[in-house]
Amino acid sequence: MENVLPIQRQQEDIDIVEQLKKESIDIAQLNALEDNIFSIDSILIVEDSISISSTLQKYFSNLGFKEIHLASTGNDGLAYYENLIKEEQKIVSIILDDSLGDIQPKKMVSKLFEIYPRAIIILLSALDKSDKKIIELLNMGIYDYVQKPLNLDRLQEVVEKIKKEKNITNTPKQQSDTKEKIVSLLRCGLLSNNHISDMLKVEKNIIEKNIRELETSNAIRNVGTFNEPICNRCSSSNLVSTFSCPACSNKIFSKEPLIEHHECGNVEPAKNYVDGKCPKCNKELKILGVDYQRLENYYVCNNCNDKFSTLNHKLECNSCNSRFEVNQANWTESRLYKI
């Protein structure tokens, strides 16, 4: 049998696809061949917002994606994608934010297509689909568009459409039994029995049976019980915490100590008191507790400049996308497990 390297074989497949296009071969034959190139268990997320990137990572993990790659800049995303094409021998879908600071979306899309002309690009944008910039990118060949604020149901529709059009089925790795999936999840850290069930989308009685068997074989162990918040709409425990400014709900803030100057009442981050002088009245600070006091563990909003000691804490459900205050959550008793 001829000894052919995987990356060489993949390139040969791609070359055949392009040749079939030129010869106008039946589209069913073309799609059948492309199915061997595309993979749905691997995805690249190019997003500069940490909160959105983290949410997408958890979301696609729940959908069964085994390889989730993150890039926070356009140039990092390009380098990552090129490396994935060369090294991993499979084509990944790309979630692309259109507001990256280091590269314009049109240029980014062009370069992705240069790396691989059949790249599957899903664009995230706050712009309306009728905006000429979005229309231009769709005409360039991006696969689809999802508008912000992020609608996870809409994103799942797009992913399911890719699966259907490319006729991609689960890989043997994805068909591993429930016990293997439970152990795989626990390798990442402690998880509750309810959270495991919700993440794997498997009925709780099946999860409980497999957990008992894993405990009996000493593969995992229970480390205690606790009250766990669950969604007040769908009762899922697959929740993500979000923190924001209580004044304007902005999610970008910094934690830093403040100084309050008693004489003029000025309260500002300690770093603004240059050379020990108040930036408002320019008087020198002398005795701590008399002239001024230092306030630790405070936050400063990057948007409205409000200063606060307690963050606005909300929960977002990855199962039904509802958002609610922590005190509005329902609670259930859960058991915590580890490897």
166 contacts 37 by C-beta, under 8 angstroms: no
What is the CATH code for 176-240+314-338? 1.10.10
Residues linked to residue 144 through DSSP beta bridges, in sequence order: 122
Distance CA 335, CA 228 (A): 9
Specify the pairing of strand 67-71 against strand 38-46: parallel
pLDDT computed for residue 249 by the predictor: 87
CATH topology match: 37-166 vs 176-240+314-338: no
Task: Tell whether pTM > 0.75.
Answer: no
Residue 216: which residues within 8 A CB-CB, separation 6 or more? none
Q: 123 burial class (0-12, 13-18, 19+ CB within 10 angstroms)?
A: buried
271 contacts 229 by C-beta, under 8 angstroms: no
Distance CA 162, CA 142 (A): 12
41 contacts 65 by C-beta, under 8 angstroms: yes
CA 41 to chain centre: 15
The residues spanned by each domain of the chain are: 37-166, 176-240+314-338, 246-310
Per-residue pLDDT of the chain (339 residues; tens, 9 = 90+): 444 444 444 455 445 444 444 443 333 433 433 444 455 567 889 988 888 888 888 888 877 777 888 888 888 889 888 887 776 545 567 888 888 888 888 999 988 888 877 788 999 988 888 888 888 888 888 888 888 877 788 888 888 887 776 654 444 444 347 888 888 888 877 889 998 888 887 778 888 988 998 999 999 999 989 899 999 888 888 888 888 899 998 888 888 899 999 999 999 999 999 999 999 999 999 999 899 999 988 999 989 989 998 888 888 888 788 889 888 999 999 999 998
Alpha-carbon separation of residue 274 from 67, 69, 148, 290, 306 (angstroms): 48, 42, 41, 19, 21
Residue 131 CB neighbour total at 10 angstroms = 13
pLDDT computed for residue 87 by the predictor: 65
Q: Which CATH superfamily is domain 37-166 in?
A: Response regulator (3.40.50.2300)
